Structure 1
Amino acid sequence: MLKVAWSTKYAHHFPEGHRFPMEKYELLPEQLVYEGTLTSENFFEPELLEESFITSVHDPEYLQKLKQLTLSKAEIRKTGFPLSNELVEREIQIMNGSVMAAFYALDDGIGMNIAGGTHHAFKDRGEGFCLLNDIAITAKCLLSQQRATKILVVDLDVHQGNGTASIFKNDLEVFTFSMHGKHNYPMHKEQSNLDVPLEDKIDDKSYLNLLDNHLKRLLDEIGPDFMIYQSGVDVLATDKLGRLGLTTQGCKERDRMVLSAAQSNKIPVMCCMGGGYSHKIGDIVEAHANTFRLAQQIFF
């Protein structure tokens, strides 16, 4: 059975002015249940993640500053959100959602989190609506518990996974692969193991050809035994922050390519949601919903 991390806290605790497009955290599970893709049995609610897992990636001093709400004004401004206890608790819960989804993936082939993909968080700071890095924490947890030996991070959000790249820059057990907008945030890019910068307005065919070529080669050369997939839908042409040119169908084919590759190569995969900022909330929900629909079709 497909197991999906979700909590009512995912959809709340956003201050006025930040509700859109964060409504997707509430609307997406509703849509998936309404259409019959998921039932209540598919969802699990994660607890707060133990601090030891967080500090395996993040500096203990930074975590304490988060919990005690003592970040400087400049540090808070870089995260993009006003800091609050509720926001920090939400982030820590999301971290465990991704960790638990990864453990489900070891048994079922795939596990998913209706949140996460917080790839802009560095060891000692948050950026770009990311306080902690669930991709890095999940990878470290799997490695430390010897549940994986070589992890491939496939980051297809429109923004480079700069925090993840920085965290794993000297780690041979994690390979970071990021396809992202060349001219998009962050303006200063970190160095992933493989970066594929994309020109503005790239179309479905060009994008999918690039992904197909790189993904097949990486699977052959690296031989990962676990995959973490950041499936942001801000690659859509309708995205107000994205600058790329993918259609909803193109985004769906992107997901099909990644999930089919994982399934056919018997590589467990944890999917975290990432960004999506189209003008119409329906466009965001539909693109994200396709990832979950495909997970059911391909793995179950």
Structure 2
Amino acid sequence: MLPLIYHASYSKLALPSKHRFPATKYLYLYQYLLQQGIAKQSQFFAAQAVTQQALTETHCSNYVSHFINGTLDAKLMRRIGFPWSKSLLERTLRSVAGTELTCRKAIEYGCAIHLSGGYHHAHHQFGSGFCIFNDLTYAAQQALKYPDIDKVLIFDCDVHQGDGTATTAATFNSIITCSIHCQHNFPARKQQSDYDIELPRGTADKYYLETVSQTLNYLIRLHQPDLIIYDAGVDIHTDDNLGYLNISTEGIYARDKSVIQQAYSAKIPIACVIGGGYSNEQHQLNIRHSQLFLAANTVFSNDLNK
């Protein structure tokens, strides 16, 4: 079985009209996967909300407290890009916990996918770019508490650099961070991951896929991680509203299959999050994000049929 992590709160977010964040995409993706027969209801799990105390293992306690209580400075909320609300709070706490649960299920089953996650612009004491708490670093820290997990690789293929992941994981030698992203894109001020692969605008399938495959192969051989957390952002797509790369839908599938296959071949559990994807055409966004699930089903087809 391929475990999938989802909670209805992911799309229950009241936002101003014409807000750029596609809050409804999580619900629509969930429905699409079921309607297309890509997933079954029995595969889905939901996480309990992460606790305030647990979040302070990754983030500044004052920042965590102010956000949870709705007293965060207005400038910091504007930097995040959302108005504070109880629905935003629940969504945030559930989503962070969801990525942790995805890691636990991946360790158990070999692979798991979260229908949210990838909030890689969240730093230790502030959020940014629609990211409040860094679920990737938090989940990696929690995974390291498992007896057989001594090193975690965060492999970020979202089109934007994982600047918050770079800073929040910087002091953890057991967390390896890699970001493959568009060089001239948000954030304007990049941070230093353990490995940063910057791609020029307009990069197309062939070079992109070679870069992803060769980079992951190198990192697996060099660091021999016990768990991979994979941010499978689809904002690399040529028609993404915030992208600037020139990757096709077929290229997204090939990337996701390559990443999952390498983890599978190396017998490394892989926890996947869907990451960024921005489009006014919801059906097209469903198709782009669904490539991750199709790829996982293909790689794990023999295991799923057991």
Same fold (TM over 0.5): yes
Offset of residue 147 of structure 1: 4.4
CA deviations 1:76-121 (Å, max 9, x no partner) are 1100111112201110011111111111111110111100110010
Whole-angstrom distance in 2 between the partners of 1:144 and 1:56: 12
Are 1:232 and 2:233 counterparts?
A: yes
Shift of 1:19: 7.5
Q: Which aligned pairs between 1:1-300 and structure 2 lie closer than 5 A?
A: 1-17=1-17, 18=19, 21-299=22-300, 300=304
Per the alignment, in what secondary structure is the counterpart of residue 178 of structure 1? strand
Of 113-122 and 45-54, more deviation after overlay is shown by 45-54
In structure 2, how many angstroms separate the alpha carbons of the residues matched to 1:77 and 1:298? 41
Instruction: Measure how far apart 1:21 and its partner are.
Output: 2.3
RMSD: 1.2
Amino acid at match of 1:257: S
Give, as a single letter, the amino acid of the residue that structure 2 aligns with 1:166: T
Aligned partner of 1:240: which letter? N
Distance 1:104 1:260 in 2: 18
Inter-partner Cα distance in structure 2 for 1:205 and 1:278: 23
- Give the number of equivalent residue pairs: 300
Distance 1:20 1:188, change over 3 A: closer
Superposed displacement of residue 34, structure 1: 0.8
Q: How far has the Cα of 1:170 moved from its partner?
A: 2.5
5+ residue gaps, structure 2: none
Find the aligned partners of 1:171 and 1:20 in 2 and give their Cα distance.
31
- Counterparts of 1:69 and 1:22, CA distance in 2: 20
Q: Report the AA paired with residue 62 of structure 2.
A: E
SS at match of 1:118: coil
Would the aligned equivalents of 1:53 and 1:141 in 2 still touch at CA under 8 Å? no
Distance in 2 between residues matched to 1:59 and 1:33, nearest whole Å: 39
CA contact (8 A) 1:177 1:192 kept: yes
| Identity among equivalent pairs (%) | 34
CA distance in 1 between counterparts of 2:250 and 2:10 reads 27
Label 1:219 to 1:35 Cα distance change in 2 as closer, same or farther (>3 A): same
1:238–1:279 Cα contact (<8 Å) kept: no
CA contact (8 A) 1:236 1:278 kept: no
Given that 1:239 and 1:279 are in contact with CA atoms closer than 8 Å, whether structure 2 keeps it comes out as no
CA deviations 1:160-206 (Å, max 9, x no partner) are 00000001123210110100010000000000000001100000001
After superposition, the Cα gap between the structure-2 partners of 1:9 and 1:33, relative to the gap in structure 1 and judged at 3 Å, is same
Residue 45 of structure 1, CA deviation:
1.7
Which deviations, in whole Å up to 9, do the C-alpha atoms of 1:46-97 show, x marking residues without a partner?
1111233211101111110001111111101100111112201110011111
Partner-residue secondary structure (3-state), 1:144:
coil
SS of 1:66 mapped into structure 2 = helix
Answer yes or no: is the 8 Å Cα contact 1:234–1:241 preserved in 2.
Answer: yes
Question: Contact conserved, 1:153 with 1:175, CA < 8 A, in 2?
Answer: yes
| Structure 1 gap ranges (5+) | none
d(CA) in 1 for partners of 2:45 and 2:185?
Answer: 34
| Residue identity in the other structure for 1:8 | A
- Take 1:117 and 1:15, find their aligned partners in 2: how far apart are those partners? 20
CA apart distance, 1:240: 1.4
Moved over 4 A (4+): none
8 Å Cα contact 2:148/2:226 also seen in 1: no
Cα distance between partner residues in 2 of 1:131 and 1:181? 22
Instruction: Give, in angstroms, the shift of residue 269 of structure 1.
Output: 0.8
- Tell which deviates more after alignment, 142-151 or 197-206: 142-151
In the alignment, the residues of structure 2 paired with residue 278 and residue 35 of structure 1 have an alpha-carbon distance, to the nearest angstrom, of: 20
